[in-house]
A and B are shown apart, each in its own frame.
Chain A
C-alpha cells in the first residue's frame, strides 16, 4: 500500500448508507472507505446489495439515510450529473451506448459544448488520442459502436468516463462478456489507470479476479457490509465463506464419466439468420450418454443458436441432428413439444425471458411446456389446477426452492431459486438429453453448488448433457469433454482434465494453439 498517503482522506467514504425498496432492505447501514489510487473490489452474492450501493454512489437512487463523502467532503449525489461533477464515472454491466453512433459521437453524448457538434468532436478526437497513448485504450474514433466487439465497446465506456475527467471509476461485472485475453487487457488498463492515481471500484463475483487485481476487497451479504480486507491477507475460500455465511466447496466433487452410446449426433449444422449473417457454420459433434459435453466460448459465437436449434425453437438452414439414430425435424421454430416428447429437455440460457413467464405464479411456471400432459387435464378443456399445484409443491420440496410457496409470483423469487424452478421442471421428467445454457448465470454461490451437483447426478444416471456456459470455470468444473465455439464454428475440442484456461482462451479467439506461429 502506498506509504505517505496514509492520512489523506479516502477517495470515497460512505457512512451509514441505507436504502430500501418497499419491504426489501437493499442496503443497511453501510460504511465503506476506498483509498485514493487503489483498486477496491466489492464482492457478494446476487441480491447482496452491491449494485444498489453503486447506484446510490452514481446517483441513480437516493439513499434513505447516510452520507457520501468524496475526498473527505460531504457530497450529496442526487443524480448522475452530480456524480459526474464529483468525478465519478461508471461502466455498467449492460453498456449505455448508442449503437448506430460512432465512438466519437458516443463519447461526447451528454458532454457536448454548445449547439454545434463540430468543435466538441474535434476536441474529443484530440483528447481520445491522448487517452489512447496514456492507457493503451486504442479504439478507432470513427468506428460505429454497434460494429465493435464487446471488449471494444467496454473500452468506449471507459473512455466516456475518462473524457468526463473522472477520478473514480466504478466497473460493474466488467469481465462477464470478455474473453480471457480481453479481460487481461482490461486489467492492464485498470492498472495503468491506478498508476495515474485514479481510484477504481470493481464489482464482481469472480473471486479469482479479486485476488488478481484488487488492493482491498469488501464483502457484502444480504444488504450489509460484512468486512473489508486487504486482498493480500485473504483467500478465495475465506471470501466465499464471508459471502455465503457458511463454508462452501469451490470445486465440484466429480467422479470420472463412463460415456456410453452416442445419443445426439450433430452433423454439419448451419444457420443463417434473417439478416443473412451465418451464425452456425457447419457444426458437428457427438454427445454420448453419461457425459457432460461443455460448450465454451465468448457469448455470441453461435452457442445460443446451437441450443435453440437443438431445442426445436429455431430452424436450422442446413445439416442433420439424429437422436438415437432418428433424424430430428430442424425446419421449424415450433418443435419444442416434439423435443419434449422425445425426452430432450432444455434449460434455456435466458430464464427470465424464455425459461419462465415472470408474472406467472410459481405453479404455472412449474409446468410451462408440459401444460399438455395428460395428468394436468381437467374437465372440458380446463387444466387440473390441483394436480398442477401438487406437482409444483413436490418439486419445490425436492429442489429446496425458497420461499416454498407455489402461489407466489415467479418474479419475486431470487435468481437462484428461479433457476431451480426451471431445472426442477426440466430434470424431474428424467430426460435422455439435457440441453442446459448458463445454468448458474446470476445465481448465488450456495445455489451454484446445488445446481452443479444436480447436473452431475443426472450424468451419473447415464443421461447425456450439453452444457453451454460463458463461465470457463464452470465449463472446466463440470465437463468431461469441452468443445470451444468461435464465429459459428467449433474451433477445438479438448478433454477436460487435459487442457487449461490459456489454451481454451486461445481457442475462444479462434486460434488453434498448436498451429500458432511463433
Chain B
C-alpha cells in the first residue's frame, strides 16, 4: 500500500532528492581520485550552462535524448521495454541519408518532411520485426531488440563500407547537398537579432518539442493511446476490451521505432550533414535512462533529456579541464544518476512518504 504523495512531491521533490544523492556519491568518487568535488561540479555546470556555447551543445544533446527517450516511453506505456532505440536510430540515419542524397534538394524545408518520413519509416521498420515476433511468437522484445541493435550496427558498417561510402579513406557517405542543411539555432536566433555562439543545436530542437507534445496527445488523448495504456497495464483486460494484442504491440513498436529513428534528423541532417560510423553513440541507451527518470511522461522526458544533455556537455568540459577525470569517469557519474533516479527510486520514496504522513497526522 502506498500513501499518496502530493503531486509536486512525486514529480519534483523525489527526483530532486535522487539527483542530490547521485551527486553526493559521485562527489565521493571525485574525492577518491584526489580532486575537489565542488570544483568539479562548478566546472560541469559552467561548461554546460555557463555560456551560449555550452547551452547550445547541451540542448543539442538533449534534442537527441528527447527522441530516444520518447521512443522508450511510448513503448513502455504499451507494456513493452524497447531496448532497441539504439538500432532503430541507426536505421533512421540510413533513412535520412537516402532521402538527402537521392534528390538534389533546393530548400531544407522541402527536404525536411521527406527526411522525417525516411527517418521514421526506417526506424519503424527496424522495430517491426521485434514487435511482430513478440506479438505472434512470444519472443520477448527485450531480447530481440538487443539482438537487432547488433544487426543494425553491422548493417550500417556494411553499408558505409561497401555501398554508401564516399571516395576516400573514411567509412562515411559523401556530404549531403547544402539544400538539406537544417538551419542552426544560432542562424535562427540571428534573424531575431539574438547573438549565440556557433553550436550544433539546430532546427530539430523545435521538432523535438513538437514530438513531445504529440506524444502526450497520443498517450493521453487518443483512443490508440488509451488502448496502448490499457494493454500496457493489463493484457487480459485489454483482450476483454476488444483490443487485439498483436495489433497494439506492433503499432506501439512502430511508433516507438519511428520516434527513435527521428533522432537522426538532429545528428545527421542537422549537424554532421553526412552519415558517419557509429553516429548514434549510445543515445538509444541513454533514452532508456531518460524515459525512466522522466517517468515516461513526455514533459518529464524533456526535463530528463536536458539533464542528460548537461551531463554530456558538462562532462566533456570537465574531462577537458580536470585531466585526472577521464571520459570514463564521466560515464560513472552518469551511471550513478541513472542508478539513483531509475533503479533506486524507492530509496528516498519511502522515507519521504513517511515524513509526509507524520506531518499530515500532526496536522489532523
Please list the residues of chain A having a beta carbon within 8 angstroms of any beta carbon in chain B.
21-24, 311, 313, 333-338, 340, 346, 348, 350, 353-360, 364, 368-369, 371-372, 376-378, 381-383, 385
Contacts and interface: CB of A to CB of B under 8 A. Distances in A.
A371 B234 contact: no
Nearest to A383: B223
B331 interface: no
B188 interface: no
Contact of A23 (B3, B226, B245): B3
Given A22-B1, A357-B230, A371 B237 contact: no
B276 to A, nearest CB: 38
A22 B3 contact: yes
B86 to A, nearest CB: 29
A336 B239 contact: yes
Contact of B240 (A22, A354, A359): A354
Contact of A334 (B229, B233, B234, B239): B239
12 contacts: A22-B2, A22-B3, A22-B4, A22-B353, A23-B3, A23-B360, A360-B230, A372-B223, A376-B223, A381-B222, A382-B223, A385-B221
Given A372-B223, A381-B224, 17 more contacts: A22-B353, A23-B3, A334-B242, A336-B240, A338-B242, A340-B242, A346-B240, A348-B240, A350-B236, A353-B236, A354-B237, A357-B230, A357-B238, A360-B229, A368-B230, A377-B223, A381-B222
A354 B223 contact: no
Contacts of A335: 242
B76 to A, nearest CB: 13
Contacts of B217: 382
A354 B226 contact: no
Contacts of B353: 22
A376 B222 CA distance: 11
Contacts of B245: 334
B237 A355 contact: yes
The DSSP consensus for interface residues of chain B is helix
B244 interface: yes
Given A353-B234, A382-B217, A21 B3 contact: yes
Contact size class for B?
20 to 34
A354 B2 CA distance: 23
B357 A358 contact: no
Contacts of A369: 240-242
A22 B242 CA distance: 36
Contacts of B317: none
A335 B239 CA distance: 9
Nearest to B356: A22
A144 B238 CA distance: 35
Contact of A358 (B1, B2, B234): B234
B242 A337 contact: yes
B341 to A, nearest CB: 21
Contacts of B241: 336, 368-369, 371
B357 A22 contact: yes
| Residue from A333, A357, A383 having most chain B Cβ neighbours under 10 A | A357
Contacts of B244: 334
Contact of B233 (A23, A333, A357, A383): A357
Nearest to A388: B226
A337 B243 CA distance: 8
A382 B222 contact: yes
A350 B3 CA distance: 25
B172 interface: no
A333 B1 contact: no
Given A354-B234, A381-B224, A313 B1 contact: no
Nearest to B5: A22
Contacts of A382: 217, 221-223
A333 B234 contact: no
Closest 5 interchain pairs by CB? A22-B3, A337-B242, A336-B242, A369-B241, A21-B1
B353 to A, nearest CB: 8
A336 B245 CA distance: 12
Nearest to B357: A22
Contacts of B2: 22
A315 to B, nearest CB: 12
Interface in B1-56: 1-4
Contacts of A338: 242
Interface in B221-264: 221-224, 226-227, 229-230, 233-234, 236-242, 244-245
B360 to A, nearest CB: 7
A494 to B, nearest CB: 31
A355 B239 CA distance: 10
A470 to B, nearest CB: 19
B237 A368 contact: yes
Given A22-B3, A22-B4, A357 B234 contact: yes
A311 B242 CA distance: 10
Contacts of B237: 353-357, 368
Nearest to A334: B244
